[in-house]
Amino acid sequence: MLAAVVLVCAGCMPADQEASIPPLSAGGRADPGLGPGTHPLSSGPGYKGSPSWSPRGNRIAFTVDGYVVDKPLNAGEVRRWTTRDFVAEDVEWTSENGLAIFGLVSDPAAGAGKAKVPRSVYRARPQEGSPEVEEVATKVLAMTPGPEGMILALETGASESELALMRDNGEVDRFGSKPVDGRVTSISLSPDRRKVVLAARVPADRPFFELRVLDLREDTHRRVARLGADLEIIGAPQWTKQGICFVAGKEEAQGGGSATPLYDLYRVPPGSDSPEHMPGVGEEFVASSIRGSPDGERLAVIGRLNPNSPINLYILEAGVLEALTSNEDMEIKTGPDDLAWSPDGASVAIVARGALSEEPRVRPGPADALLEDFYNLYEVPLELTQGAAR
């Protein structure tokens, strides 16, 4: 029991006692429990998430216990970008040497879990010594990479939002289009990099969600779909050749008065304004998070074939669903920012750990070298779809 406690606490060490995550062995392609061919990209303690590939695909950035690091894919030391008091929720590359970080700086005087400022976007550059970040935008609701920087959704009122472009030099320019009705919850860029789609929660007697599309060239936006009041969009809508796809959930009453959220995969077909269940995934499929491929041909989906099956990573292409992992005993994170495509569309990064057990376990190796006891990043190549079960 003591050994288990020590392993858990290792991810919460003070900053002056932290040890960098050691590089993985170049040949570390053993089956980690997700299926043959999956490749660990990190190791050791810490609550990891939000993987983001560099533009050239040779490095990957991610969050660890709230701070931001990056490393080469298969070797090399971890490089830290933020201090320990930073609470990062999402991270995206703006260039080969720059990151945009969505989060906040914690205030020790305000007490645990409280924030000194609302969520902001920060600009970071690698440097020697103590990491520093520059706050470039406040009251930020969501962000996504754009054609010339980061597209930001900014809060301008209790029921109003606006979009802005954050350039790589830190300048923020508002778009000239009229404000967006409602509170933007997520946003993503189209494969041709000409448009963005956003989800907005519109206040009313019964609040509802809308999908809106902004044309970056014409600087206009329009509503493409309105959801029923019982559906809530989870994560960011994604562009594919089959239409705009999104995960939406609702609470369904169960026995005993309890309610269980149910998440389904939907799409708005091209030229339509009516959402429909995504064809090809099956009636019992439970979706958790999605991410469109760089070319818009495929959709990475984390979910279950039915409520009683294990969570896996799937690829949906042309109405055909293929399993990319063969998970039996791993816990795959299902957060909307916990999966990412490589720039060439050849791999998907996910976050997973070994399934928790009530029995204490003792590991012979050092905590920094462990994989299955902590959330870590894994690269899953698309070549595994050949011969995978449908």
**In angstroms, rounded to a whole number, what is the distance separating the alpha carbons of residues 74 and 38?**
13
Stretch 179-195: mean pLDDT:
93
Two structure tokens written together for 303: 């979910």
DSSP per-residue letters across 240-285: ETTEEEEEEEEEEE-GGG-EEEEEEEEEE-TT--S-EEPTTS-TT-
Q: What is the sign, positive or negative, of the torsion defined by CA atoms of 233, 346, 125, 83? A: positive
Relative to beta strand 79-80, strand 86-95 is unpaired
- Across the chain, mean pLDDT equals 82
Q: Give the gyration radius of the chain's Cα atoms.
A: 21
**In angstroms, rounded to a whole number, what is the distance separating the alpha carbons of residues 230 and 248?**
10
The residue range of the domain holding 344 is 279-390
Q: According to the model, what pLDDT value does residue 373 have? A: 65
pLDDT digits (tens, 9 = 90+) for 285-322: 999 999 999 999 999 999 999 988 999 999 999 999 99
Please give the DSSP secondary-structure letter assigned to residue 3: H
Segment of 21-30, 320-329, 358-367 carrying the highest mean pLDDT: 320-329
**In angstroms, rounded to a whole number, what is the distance separating the alpha carbons of residues 245 and 303?**
15
Q: Answer whether residue 365 is part of any domain.
A: yes
Which residues make beta-bridge pairs with 314?
301, 323
Stretch 280-289: mean pLDDT:
93
Answer yes or no: is pLDDT of 112 > 60. no
Which residues make beta-bridge pairs with 279?
none
Q: Answer whether residue 323 is part of any domain.
A: yes
Q: Answer whether residue 118 is part of any domain.
A: no
pLDDT digits (tens, 9 = 90+) for 208-249: 999 999 999 888 889 999 998 888 999 999 999 899 999 998
Closest Cα partner for 49 from 103, 95, 8, 94?
103
Q: According to the model, what pLDDT value does residue 104 have? A: 84
Answer yes or no: is pLDDT of 177 > 90. no
Q: Answer whether residue 188 is part of any domain.
A: no
**In angstroms, rounded to a whole number, what is the distance separating the alpha carbons of residues 19 and 6?**
15
Q: Answer whether residue 368 is part of any domain.
A: yes
Greater confidence (76 vs 26) lies with 76
Q: How confident is the model at residue 35 (pLDDT cuts 50, 70, 90)?
A: confident
Greater confidence (387 vs 66) lies with 66
Q: pTM score, two decimals?
A: 0.82
Q: According to the model, what pLDDT value does residue 8 have? A: 41
Q: How confident is the model at residue 356 (pLDDT cuts 50, 70, 90)?
A: low
Which residues make beta-bridge pairs with 162?
154
Q: Answer whether residue 250 is part of any domain.
A: no
Closest Cα partner for 81 from 126, 14, 139?
126
Two structure tokens written together for 62: 């991610």
The H-assigned helical ranges of the chain are 2-9
How many structural domains are present in the chain?
A: 1
Q: According to the model, what pLDDT value does residue 361 have? A: 57
Please give the DSSP secondary-structure letter assigned to residue 106: B
Stretch 50-72: mean pLDDT:
95
**In angstroms, rounded to a whole number, what is the distance separating the alpha carbons of residues 231 and 226?**
10
Q: Answer whether residue 20 is part of any domain.
A: no
Greater confidence (26 vs 367) lies with 367
Q: According to the model, what pLDDT value does residue 106 have? A: 62
Greater confidence (128 vs 280) lies with 280
Q: What is the sign, positive or negative, of the torsion defined by CA atoms of 368, 371, 375, 380? A: positive
Q: Which amino acid is at 126?
A: P
Stretch 243-267: mean pLDDT:
75
Q: Answer whether residue 152 is part of any domain.
A: no
